[in-house]
């Protein structure tokens, strides 16, 4: 271990010998830890090679000898829930003591920003924090770290749940743990390893990633896959050259803001338009835009307003060579005053230097937000549409890319998951998928691969539960293809793996916020799965209705459901019928349908489809669907057709 080498070298410099290596434990074995009850518990660390290491708990001692690589491990026998305990580790006269250790239920919580989302950001946060006096709930927040190879350690600490600490706990993980703790009356520990905007591939090991089909690897730099360390070094050199180009922007040096600048050789780009959806991709840096506007004689010399909507992330704007504004930050609307005497009759040049220093880049507002307004009569000249543009310094031209978790596979697995693979857990809960909606078809392969990978790394098939994507974006006026629906379908397909389950939440999201605040219900629905499948509450309904079969009856399709609990019903009956169903004939053109409940069946029909062949339910970004069981758990989205979706095409 590098850690052991450091201590050995330090000891030599202080006049000691390499033989006296420091006794060390991973930081997850620290005060207030929760260890998994009901199974043997491995404890490991490092010590001087050949030295005896003794671990003591409750008056019992377990000994081993550190191997030639200074590694050791002991296995404690299974313990019932309870505590607190002290665990003492000794070797060669050195002693470590871990205090206030509990045995209980340990769950790994992972994914992207909706798992990272904290209690202090959740619904009714002030009251939730005020009453969070649960000393038998403990949590670890794993720091954001990336690594090119599997790591043995990441610095963490256990926090006891209290009003002072709970605010920084993962909200989904906390409400999940709280539900289990209140039902089981045992300690619960949660290990939160999550990072916003991350894809599934960065969370799986290279062992799982490497056998995947080549199409699932094509967006990675080959060098990043072969030698991440070398990739980092070369990328740092490219970054230096890129930053030098930014500091000496050739557009500024060449005075591209002057109205007589020759733009005939510049490319064209739509405004509005995000860089990420163009050939610029995820590039950082500066791109110059120019738009020539014809103004009448009446506009000559008059003051004006230049509206540039929202720009990601920074901009400097000129009109006829005169600087009229400058802003930084994607949350600001750009409304710049054009001084009197700047505008002229005939051709006027609007020039904008756009700087992107994060992800999206470009003009990201709606078309009506881009205009030049002249005089007191407020005549507006639209600026949306084709602009001329030219790169002055963008990262793609230097081969530089920002080092974030999605740059290569396994970066977060290596640094944030692998350090815990020998730490006993009951299972895992997962909230991820938003980042991968555009590759939803591949998620059918990627997601099960991750689940099987983690189980292989831990050495047993622990329960794995996840959150189906919430509703997002405005409801569709007509049925259409949906990447979000296809991602939900891929998640549901992963239920073919044993010991899995999903919480369906398309009824509690927020159309305008990818981070809905009702994490209490998300945690509760996940906990229902564990209580039923892990903790023996077999009479507890833990899932919503699932399409079991369907049949065509004239101009209707009749869908039979399983998991109906006390019966099918609707959550919100404001329309007077079941919503969220669409139906199509052989032409594959879907129409919204009316649906009615008949026992454990739903009868679906549309006057626009006389000979239906397929039915879909909750098949959109924001389904607006209301079918559930009387226990309030929503029906699982589904389709009966096997036609190619938009992410497969």
Locate 435 and state its tokens: 């980042």
Strand, coil or helix: 226: helix
Strand, coil or helix: 531: helix
Give the CATH number of domain 245-398. 2.60.120.260
Q: What does the pLDDT look like over 304-348, one tens digit per residue?
A: 999 999 999 999 999 999 999 999 987 789 999 999 999 999 999
What's the mean pLDDT in 366-371? 92
Rounded distance, CA 98 to CA 45, Å?
A: 13
Quote the pLDDT of residue 415: 98
Rounded distance, CA 46 to CA 23, Å?
A: 6
| Helix count and strand count (H, E) for the chain | 12, 35
588 versus 276: the higher-pLDDT residue is 588
pLDDT at 440 over 90: yes
Quote the pLDDT of residue 20: 52
Q: Do the Cβ atoms of 395 and 356 come closer than 8 Å?
A: no
Count of CB atoms situated within 10 Å of the CB of 75: 15
pLDDT at 632 over 80: yes
What's the mean pLDDT in 115-139? 98
Predicted confidence band at 366 (pLDDT cuts at 50, 70, 90)? confident
Q: Do the Cβ atoms of 427 and 464 come closer than 8 Å?
A: yes
Quote the pLDDT of residue 303: 95
Q: Do the Cβ atoms of 408 and 225 come closer than 8 Å?
A: yes
Rounded distance, CA 526 to CA 200, Å?
A: 20
* Distance (Å) of CA 172 to CA 117, 119, 149, 186, 540: 8, 8, 29, 19, 21
- Taking the CA atoms of residue 122, residue 427, residue 158 and residue 203 in that order, the dihedral angle to the nearest 10 degrees is -80
Task: Encode 393-428: b = buried (16+ Cβ within 10 Å), e = exposed.
Answer: bbbbebebbebbbbbbbbbbbbbbbbbbbbbbbbbb
H or E, element range at 225: helix 222-226
Give the whole-number percent of the chain exceeding pLDDT 70: 96
Quote the pLDDT of residue 16: 41
Q: What does the pLDDT look like over 19-69, one tens digit per residue?
A: 456 999 999 999 999 999 999 999 999 999 999 999 999 999 999 999 999
Quote the pLDDT of residue 21: 66
Predicted confidence band at 10 (pLDDT cuts at 50, 70, 90)? very low
Rounded distance, CA 48 to CA 68, Å?
A: 9
What are the residues whose beta carbons fall under 8 Å from the beta carbon of 557, sequence distance 6 or more? 550, 551, 583, 603, 604, 605, 612, 614, 615, 640
Give one DSSP letter per residue of 47-95, joined into a string: -STT-EEEEEETTEEEEEE--TTSEEEEEEPP--SEEEEEEEEEETTEE
Classify residue 173 by burial, with Cβ atoms within 10 Å: 0-12, 13-18, 19+: buried
Quote the pLDDT of residue 359: 75
Quote the pLDDT of residue 6: 41
Predicted confidence band at 353 (pLDDT cuts at 50, 70, 90)? very high
- Best CA proximity match to 389, nearest among 506, 272, 239, 298: 272
Q: Do the Cβ atoms of 151 and 98 come closer than 8 Å?
A: no
User: Strand pairing partners for 354?
Assistant: 287, 315
Rounded distance, CA 284 to CA 328, Å?
A: 14
What's the mean pLDDT in 568-575? 84
Is the N-terminal amide bond of 60 cis, ω within 30° of 0?
no
User: Strand pairing partners for 583?
Assistant: 591, 615
Predicted confidence band at 281 (pLDDT cuts at 50, 70, 90)? confident
Residue appearing with tokens 């557009």: 251
Give one DSSP letter per residue of 295-334, joined into a string: E-GGGTT--EEEEEEEEESEEEEEETTEEEEEEE-TT-EE
State the DSSP code for 578. B
Predicted confidence band at 4 (pLDDT cuts at 50, 70, 90)? very low
Of 175-179, 283-287, 402-406, 622-626, the range with the lowest mean pLDDT is 402-406
Mean pLDDT of all residues belonging to the chain: 94
Q: In what order do the strands lie in the sheet with 594-598?
A: 546-553, 556-562, 601-605, 594-598
Quote the pLDDT of residue 371: 96
Give the whole-number percent of the chain exceeding pLDDT 90: 91
Strand, coil or helix: 628: strand
pLDDT at 17 over 70: no
* Intervals of CATH 2.60.120.260 along the chain: 245-398
Quote the pLDDT of residue 3: 46
Give the sign of the dihedral formed by CA 617, CA 622, CA 627, CA 629: positive
Q: What is the largest CA-CA distance in the chain?
A: 96
Quote the pLDDT of residue 1: 43
**What value does the CA radius of gyration of the chain take, rounded to a whole number of Å?**
30
Q: Kindly give the residue spans of alpha helices, DSSP state H, lying in 121-188.
A: 125-130, 171-184
Quote the pLDDT of residue 315: 97
Rounded distance, CA 231 to CA 221, Å?
A: 9
Quote the pLDDT of residue 649: 77
Determine what percent of the chain falls in helix, strand and coil, rounding each to the nearest 5: 25, 35, 40
**310 — phi, psi (to 5°)?**
-115, 130
* Distance (Å) of CA 246 to CA 191, 252, 284, 462, 588: 41, 10, 10, 50, 51
4 versus 162: the higher-pLDDT residue is 162
pTM of the model: 0.86
pLDDT at 622 over 60: yes
Quote the pLDDT of residue 19: 47
Q: What does the pLDDT look like over 239-265, one tens digit per residue?
A: 999 999 999 999 999 999 999 999 999
Quote the pLDDT of residue 9: 40
What are the residues whose beta carbons fall under 8 Å from the beta carbon of 456, sequence distance 6 or more? 207, 208
* Distance (Å) of CA 72 to CA 51, 69, 80, 424: 10, 9, 25, 17
pLDDT at 18 over 50: no
Quote the pLDDT of residue 7: 42
Locate 245 and state its tokens: 């180009």
């Amino acid at each position: 271990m590098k850690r052991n080498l450091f201590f050995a070298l330090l000891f030599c410099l202080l006049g000691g010998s390499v033989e006296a290596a420091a006794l060390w434990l991973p930081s997850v074995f620290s005060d207030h830890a929760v260890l998994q009850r009901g199974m043997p518990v491995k404890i490991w660390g490092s010590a001087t090679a050949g030295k005896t290491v003794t671990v003591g708990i409750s008056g019992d001692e377990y000994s081993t000898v550190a191997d030639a690589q200074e590694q050791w491990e002991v296995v404690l026998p299974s313990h019932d829930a309870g505590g607190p305990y002290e665990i003492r580790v000794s070797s060669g006269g050195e002693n470590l003591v871990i205090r206030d250790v509990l045995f209980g239920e340990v769950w790994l919580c992972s994914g992207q920003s909706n798992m990272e989302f904290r209690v202090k950001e959740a619904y009714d946060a002030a009251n939730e924090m005020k009453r969070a006096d649960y000393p038998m709930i403990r949590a670890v927040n794993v720091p954001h770290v990336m690594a090119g190879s599997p790591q043995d350690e990441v610095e963490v600490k256990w926090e006891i749940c209290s009003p002072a600490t709970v605010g920084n706990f993962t909200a989904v993980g906390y409400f999940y743990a709280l539900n289990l703790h209140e039902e089981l009356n045992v300690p619960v520990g949660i290990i939160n390893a999550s990072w916003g905007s991350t894809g599934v591939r960065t969370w799986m090991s290279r062992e799982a990633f490497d056998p995947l089909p080549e199409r699932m690897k094509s967006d990675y730099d080959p060098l990043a896959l072969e030698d991440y360390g070398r990739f980092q070094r070369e990328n740092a050199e490219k970054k230096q050259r890129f930053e030098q180009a930014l500091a000496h922007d050739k557009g500024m040096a060449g005075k591209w803001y002057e109205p007589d600048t020759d733009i005939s050789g510049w490319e064209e780009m739509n405004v509005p338009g995000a860089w990420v959806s163009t050939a610029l991709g995820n590039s950082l840096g500066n791109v110059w835009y120019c738009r020539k506007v014809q103004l009448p004689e009446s506009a000559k010399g008059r003051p004006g307003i230049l509206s540039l909507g929202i720009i990601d992330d920074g901009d400097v704007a000129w009109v006829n060579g005169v600087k009229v504004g400058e802003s930084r930050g994607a949350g600001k609307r750009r409304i710049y005053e054009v001084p009197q005497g700047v505008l002229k009759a005939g051709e006027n040049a609007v020039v904008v230097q756009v700087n992107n220093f994060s992800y999206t880049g470009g003009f990201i507002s709606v078309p009506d937000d881009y205009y030049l307004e002249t005089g007191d009569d407020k005549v507006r000249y639209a600026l949306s549409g084709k602009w001329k543009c030219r790169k002055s310094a963008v990262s793609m031209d230097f081969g530089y890319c920002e080092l974030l978790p999605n740059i290569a596979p396994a970066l977060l697995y290596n640094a944030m998951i692998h350090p815990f693979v020998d730490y006993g857990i009951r299972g895992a809960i997962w909230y991820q998928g938003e980042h991968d909606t555009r590759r939803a078809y591949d998620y059918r392969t990627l997601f099960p691969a991750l689940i099987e990978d983690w189980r292989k790394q831990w050495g047993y098939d622990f329960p794995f539960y996840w959150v189906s994507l919430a509703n997002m974006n405005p409801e569709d006026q007509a049925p259409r293809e949906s990447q979000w629906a296809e991602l939900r379908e891929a998640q549901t397909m992963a239920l073919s793996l044993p010991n899995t389950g999903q919480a369906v939440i398309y009824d509690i999201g927020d159309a305008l916020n990818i981070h809905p605040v009702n994490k209490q219900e998300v945690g509760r629905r996940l906990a229902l799965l564990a209580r039923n499948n892990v903790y023996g509450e077999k009479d507890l309904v833990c899932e919503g209705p699932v399409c079991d079969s369907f049949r065509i009856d004239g101009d209707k399709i009749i869908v039979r459901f399983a998991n109906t609990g006390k019966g099918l019903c609707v959550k919100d009956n404001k329309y007077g019928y079941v919503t969220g169903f669409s139906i199509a004939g052989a032409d594959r053109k879907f129409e919204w349908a009316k649906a009615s409940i008949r026992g454990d069946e739903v009868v679906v029909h549309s006057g626009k489809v006389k000979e239906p062949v397929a039915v879909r339910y909750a098949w959109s970004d924001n389904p607006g669907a209301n079918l559930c069981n009387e226990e309030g758990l929503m029906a699982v989205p589904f389709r009966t057709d096997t036609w190619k979706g938009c992410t497969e095409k």
